[in-house]
Amino acid sequence: IVGNSKDVHYSTNETGVHLSPEEFHKKCNDEDAILIDVRNSYEYAIGHFDGAVNPNTRCFSRFSEWIKEARESGMFKNKEKVLMYCTGGIRCEKASIEMKKQLQNEATVYQLKGGIHRYLEEYGAKGSFKGKNFVFDKRIIQPHEPGTEVVGKCCLCHAPYDLVVDTRRCKKCRLLILVCDSCDEERNQQYWCKDHVYLDPSIYKADPRRMQNLIEKIGELENKLESPSLRGRRNRSKRLIVQKNLDEMRNVQKITMANEKLVAT
């Protein structure tokens, strides 16, 4: 989950200030604070703290890059406190070190001790965390109180839904996505995450402009494939990746055009 080396050691002086659930709860609504969810997008989708920023990361290794982009965009401007949280507090140990390093004393970095898990044990549905807590074991979701608010939505029909099913993943990258039972049955496990939705032939019928965007992307990849920067044995793996993406887009274009002909006849 954390993607760290087994030999890496750090002291509490390097990490953010550890806050108990009670302390964290009190600081959540401070006007000079910004609340950051350290987890991945599919975890945030089914539950998160009210008002928390979603970095939209697909894996934890991308969090450092997100901090840099967020800082350059001015996200932390005029903020004296950065409050961070994750599932059980483990990822925040490394994430808070990176946050402190990049912010360079521009703000005080705090982290929720024990993570969402400990917070929910203390506050349950009465606290600032809305929805359910994704966990990395057979339970998938931490036990919760009856009537807990559903904040997740099916990525296809947008109906309230927060049941995480391991087989419901993006056809391209295998990322977990929220797909309700009815959409799953209708699509027969043919669905994509938001980053790869352009591979879904059904979206082009509803919006013709998307087809023009697809044609432009195909042209860009064709030009990239012919670029001198991808020539030679050293760039063979990169060339194969571009070719694979190009083939996928061409296939989507072919399917869409075939469907249009069927409708016309």
**8-state DSSP, 176:** B
Q: Using CA atoms, how far apart are residues 265 and 126, in angstroms rounded to an integer?
A: 58
Q: Name residue, tokens 């920023």.
A: 53
Q: Using CA atoms, how far apart are residues 74 and 186, in angstroms rounded to an integer?
A: 43
Closest CA to 53 of 28, 72, 78: 28
Q: Which of 28, 59, 86, 170 is catalytic?
A: 86
- Residue 107 has, within 13 A of its CA and on its CB side, a CA count of 24
Catalytic annotation on 86?
A: yes
Q: Is residue 34 within 8 Å of residue 83, measured between CB atoms?
A: yes
Task: Using the CB atoms, write b or e for 240-252: b if 16+ within 10 Å.
Answer: eebeebbeebeeb
Residues carrying an active site annotation = 86
